[in-house]
Amino acid sequence: MSTQLPTVRRQNLVGASRAELAVLLAPLDDRPFRSQQIYHWLTRRLAADLDEMTDLPRTLRARLSECGVVSDPETVEVKRAVDGTAKYVLRFDDGAVVEAVAMPMEGRTTLCLSSQAGCAVGCIFCVTGALGAGRNLTGGEIFGQYRRLVRAEGLLGQPINVVFMGMGEPLLNVPNVARAVELLAETVSPRRVTVSTSGIVPGLARLAELPRRPNLAVSLNATTQEQRLALMPAAARWPLADLLAALRAYPLERGRRITIEYVLLQGRNDSLDDARRLPRLLRGLPVKVNLIPFNPDEQFLPGLAAPDDAQINAFAALLADANLNVTVRWSKGREVAAACGQLRGRQQAAGNRQQ
C-alpha cells in the first residue's frame, strides 16, 4: 500500500518584501545580499522565473524552487482597440478574474490596475459595481498585473504611469494597495502613481499615513448629497460634507493637486447649475477636474447616457470661467469595453444577472 506524501505549497515570491525574502532564504543562504538580489530581479527586472536570476548560483535557485515560485496572473484574453489600448483579462490561482488596461499616451504608457476582484461600492454608472463584490487582491496580485502587462507590452525600461482605476475600491484595500505602491516604487515613482477612490473617508486617513504617498483622485460626480447618494450608494456612509472635510485635511506635498473625477450623466448631474455649484464646493482646495463623459453599457447599465458634446463643452466652460483647471477626458478603448466604468472581469456574471 503506497502512501501519498502531502504537497508542500510553495510561496509566491512576487509581492514579498525584502524582509520576507530574507526569512525565506535564511535556511538556504545566510548572505544578506542574496535577498536584495532576488528582490531586484522581481521588482526591477520583472523576472518571469527563477532561472532568469542568472547571478544566483544554480544550486541556490534549485533549492529556492522547492519552497518558492515566481507566479503572475494568467492571461485569459487580450483585446486591443484601434487607439492602441489593450485590455487584459487576468486570472489568479483561485479562479478570481480581473481586468487591467494598457493605454498608450503621448510619451509614456499608462497602466490601469485593479485592486479588488469585483466591487461592493455599487456606483450606478460602473459595470464592475453592477456585477457586485469580490475579494481584495494581495499586494503581490496587484503588482503581478503590472509585471504581466509590462512584459507583454514590451515596456521594461520605458516611462510608465500607473493608475488604480481598474476594478474595485482601492481605499477598501489600503494595506495591499500600499504594498503594491512600495513594490512599484522600484521602477515607478509614487508621483507617477494615482489611487482613485469613490470617497472612502477612513481610507483617506489611512492613505495619508503612508510615508510615500501616491497621487490622489476622487470620484465626486455630484454637487449635492442627495444627488451623490442617487449615483453612489456609499455616500450614505460617507456624506459629501464629510468627504470634502477629509480632502481639506489631506496632506499634500508641494506642487501636488487632488484630481476630481466627475462622470457626466445626461439629466443626472450635467446641468449648468451643477457646473456653477462645483467650483463653490471645491473652493480653497488644490484640485484639477477631469470631466468624464459616461461610457455606456446597454447590458449592465441600461437607461444611462452621456450628455451631448454641446452640454459637455458648456459645463467645462463654466468651470474654466470659475478658474478651475478642467479637462474633458475622452476615454480610450471604449470599443473593447476598456474605458472608465466598463471593466467587468467576471464575464460569466452576465448570465447570472438575468436569472
Catalytically annotated residues: 99, 340
CB 183 within 8 A of CB 131: no
Bridge partners of 290?
A: 261, 327
| C-alpha closest to that of 74 among 148, 11, 146, 138 | 148
CB within 8 Å of 110: residues ≥ 6 apart = 102, 103, 160, 161, 162, 163
| C-alpha closest to that of 240 among 269, 271, 207 | 269
Neighbours of 192 (CB within 10 A): 18
The C-alpha cell of 138 is what? 494581495
CB 241 within 8 A of CB 248: no
Q: Give all strands (DSSP E) within the chain, no chain letters.
A: 11-12, 68-69, 74-80, 86-91, 97-105, 108-112, 116-117, 135-136, 160-164, 193-197, 215-219, 258-264, 287-293, 325-328
| C-alpha span between 184 and 202 (Å, rounded) | 24
